[in-house]
Amino acid sequence: MTSKLYSFKRVRKILSGLCFIFLIFAVNAASAQNFEADVGGGILFHWEGEQIFYWNGEFSYKNNRSFENRLDILQINSDMSRFSGEIMKIGYSAKFDLEKIHPEFAAGYIKQSEINALLGTKKIKIGAAEGFYIGASPGIDIHKFVIKPSVLFAKGKFKDGDFNFFYGKPDIPKFLRTGLSVDYDKKHNVSFSFTNFDLNITNNDDMPLFNSAGRVVGASYRRSFYDDKNRKKFSGSIGVHSAGLSMNGSLTPENQRYFLFPFEFFNIDGHLDAHIGHAFFDFEFRRKHLAHFLKVGAVNVFGGEINANFHYKNRKFFGTSEKNENIDTITLKNTGLGFLAYSFETPGWAITEKIRIDLGLRKILACPWGIGNFRNETSDTGNVITKELVKTILLSGLSGNLKIRF
């Protein structure tokens, strides 16, 4: 029933209709100076002349602050020799700010080109894919409290792929996220979420190879401060999450449809669990000529590991019998990522009586730690070219945007 109700063809038609409605209202909103377009792009990662880059556009309008409509487009491209591909997302959202009720709705369509990756000497091809998501959140005012339950459903499907030692493709039959947010006096916010998803691997004839079941449970608290007189804002949040993922499956000549050299079968049983904490801080300072935005945050794994067992049997002429092997447990504890993002925007230049524009620039610096947990051998970093490393630091995470308000 769910697959019929939320089919890809049906979602594409619904999203096309919502985009058409958006354009109709946007024409009316533009004459009332309630239309805003924000277009930008930049480099996500740069190394040795190759890069992963993106561009995005957000188009919104408001109707006397009681109704906000938004259309967003995002495209990510990679021209790197070790990782190439393209991902595009089109999303629509609507918010209603009624007297005591604040319902929200969102829907989107995601399309991915064929992705080719090189891991060491192994080539991996993930076929073209498409997916969609749909969600809703009915907010309710109770005195100074705003209570928002939410739900988000997503689904994806992929075309034929090649994982070097077997033929197959990912499959996302289920992704469901539910949440509850409680806001008090616009200064305190507590939120809870539960995500349940399946991430499977099938062969290119849609026969199951590997099945996995995952879940993520999280809770967070945010405190906000406002200084309207000096045009300053500050917010800080902390949160904890617990994640688990189990996977099992097998490769056989039947589900691979070719001679499974040199095995008669190959089974795997794996598990991942992680306990994660985060802390984020946002600062906003608005001055006469510039508005400054600073975001600082860190995510750290306080406990967890990855382990797997392989059970396989070689063909008889190799003279070996069935074997069980356990990979070395990978410890996730004390791995994480810290980041700092600074951006600024002009205060809004008046081009005409009805048109104002803002220009912005953003730079993100990120610092991972604990990456050595994923390596079996220590790597020699003494030959890293300083010039290339400097370019990577300067160009990665650099972006700009142009905002136009009518």
User: What Rg do the C-alpha atoms of the chain give, in angstroms?
Assistant: 25
* CA max distance for the chain: 85
Q: Is the distance from CB of 338 to CB of 366 less than 8 angstroms? A: yes
Q: What is the pLDDT of residue 14?
A: 61
Nearest to 159 by CA among 205, 108, 208, 90: 205
- Tens of each residue's pLDDT in the chain, 406 residues: 344 445 556 656 666 666 666 665 555 555 555 788 899 999 999 888 889 999 999 988 887 667 888 889 999 999 898 899 999 999 999 888 888 888 999 999 999 999 999 877 788 999 999 999 999 999 899 888 999 999 999 988 899 988 877 888 998 888 999 999 999 998 999 999 999 999 899 988 888 889 999 999 999 999 999 988 878 999 999 999 999 999 999 888 788 776 676 677 788 899 999 999 999 999 999 887 889 999 999 999 999 999 988 887 776 665 556 777 777 788 889 999 999 999 999 877 777 777 888 899 999 999 888 876 665 544 444 444 567 778 888 889 999 988 888 7
**Per-residue tokens: 171:** 């499959």
Cα separation, 39 vs 41, in Å, equals 7
Q: 244: burial class by Cβ within 10 Å (0-12, 13-18, 19+)?
A: middle
User: Cα-flanking dihedrals φ and ψ of residue 127, to 5°?
Assistant: -65, 165
**Per-residue tokens: 202:** 């099938």
Q: 9: burial class by Cβ within 10 Å (0-12, 13-18, 19+)?
A: exposed
Cα separation, 236 vs 222, in Å, equals 6
User: Cα-flanking dihedrals φ and ψ of residue 301, to 5°?
Assistant: -95, 115
CA distances from 290 to 35, 42, 164, 285, 356 (A): 22, 21, 52, 9, 15
Cα separation, 152 vs 150, in Å, equals 7
Q: What is the pLDDT of residue 5?
A: 45
Q: Tell me how far the alpha carbon of residue 178 is from its chain's centroid.
A: 17
- Long-range contact pairs involving 229-235 (C-beta distance under 8 Å, separation at least 24): 231/285, 231/286, 231/287, 232/283, 232/284, 232/285, 232/286, 233/282, 233/283, 233/284, 234/281, 234/282, 234/283, 234/284, 235/281, 235/282
Cα separation, 240 vs 192, in Å, equals 10
Cα separation, 267 vs 315, in Å, equals 15
Per-domain residue ranges of the chain: 2-405
Q: Is the distance from CB of 169 to CB of 201 less than 8 angstroms? A: yes
**Per-residue tokens: 357:** 């524009």
pLDDT digits (tens, 9 = 90+) for 65-88: 678 888 899 999 998 988 999 999
**Per-residue tokens: 120:** 């060491």
Q: What is the pLDDT of residue 128?
A: 92
pLDDT digits (tens, 9 = 90+) for 221-255: 999 999 888 789 999 999 999 999 999 998 887 88
Q: Is the distance from CB of 90 to CB of 106 less than 8 angstroms? A: no
